[in-house]
């Protein structure tokens, strides 16, 4: 249990530090992708903080509901908006962002209002199927899968285009996209690890590594100054 608390607290503090750094980038440059990544990292912080709380005081409906909203429903779609703003013209990306925010609010509302079932075990992170009915689990599955598809697919496409362009700035931009995609995959695999083998420690480690990769990718991509070719 102590290792789980330590890892959850590390994930929370690291992601808060990353959030502040990317926020500083946004305040300096006011690029929409920086704001999307700032919000996504803050959501990761809240999700990790909920995991920290649950591991420290024992899992119950409150910490798990917060963990599910921030960790399973909201963060990956908002992270995907950073990729959208890198790939698309600003007006089109703004429209996608509006739809995404409304959909995320709807999904979070489903989880917030859903009744819980089953019994919580204080020192064990439960699976969604043990706590919620179909509604919250469908919302989380759609949010995570669609968001991850945009992040991974868009990042790979953008990285390929940038690497073909050549030049130091393009290479940095491509590398940043690859790191963000790797971070999203790491987080997704961590969730799979918890769901399949119920390994809280492995899940906690994946959160720390995934957030670190996303942070490194965001810094690398924004330092390159790359913008979509259609802008």
Q: Is 135 exposed, middle or buried (0-12, 13-18, 19+ CB in 10 A)?
A: middle
pTM for the whole thing?
0.81
pLDDT of residue 133: 85
- How far is Cα 178 from Cα 124, in angstroms, rounded to an integer? 33
Query: What confidence score (pLDDT) does residue 97 get?
Result: 94
Q: Distance between CA 66 and CA 54 in Å, rounded?
A: 10
Domains along the chain with CATH numbers: 2-224 (1.20.1070.10)
The reported pLDDT for the residue numbered 95 is 95
Question: What residues contact residue 33 under an 8 Å CB cut-off, 6+ apart?
Answer: 81, 82, 83, 85, 86, 221, 222
pLDDT at site 143: 87
Enter the tokens of residue 85.
């703003």
Considering only CA atoms, which of 93, 97, 96 is closest in space to residue 231? 93
Q: Which pLDDT score is estimated for 193? A: 55
10-residue averages of pLDDT along the chain (231 residues): 76 85 87 89 88 85 89 87 86 94 94 84 75 86 85 80 73 78 76 53 74 80 53 41
């Amino acid at each position: 249990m102590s290792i789980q608390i330590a890892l959850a607290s590390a994930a929370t503090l690291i992601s808060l530090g990353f959030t502040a750094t990317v926020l500083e980038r946004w305040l300096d440059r006011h690029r929409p992708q920086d704001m999307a990544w700032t919000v996504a990292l803050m959501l990761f912080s809240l999700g990790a903080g909920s995991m920290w709380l649950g591991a420290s005081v024992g899992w119950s409906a409150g910490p798990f509901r917060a963990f599910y909203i921030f960790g399973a429903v909201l963060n990956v779609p908002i992270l995907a908006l950073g990729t959208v703003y890198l790939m698309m013209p600003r007006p089109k990306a703004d429209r996608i962002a509006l739809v995404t925010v409304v959909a995320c609010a709807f999904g979070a509302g489903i989880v917030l209002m859903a009744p819980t079932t089953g019994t919580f075990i204080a020192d064990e992170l439960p699976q969604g199927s043990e706590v919620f009915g179909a509604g919250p689990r469908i919302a989380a599955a759609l949010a995570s899968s669609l968001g991850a598809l945009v992040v991974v697919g868009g990042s790979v496409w953008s990285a390929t285009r940038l690497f073909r362009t050549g030049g130091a700035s393009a290479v940095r931009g491509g590398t940043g996209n690859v790191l963000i995609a790797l971070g999203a995959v790491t987080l997704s695999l961590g969730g799979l690890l918890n769901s399949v083998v119920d390994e809280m420690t492995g899940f906690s480690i994946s959160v720390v590594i995934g957030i670190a990769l996303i942070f490194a990718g965001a810094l690398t991509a924004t330092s390159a100054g790359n913008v979509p070719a259609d802008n």
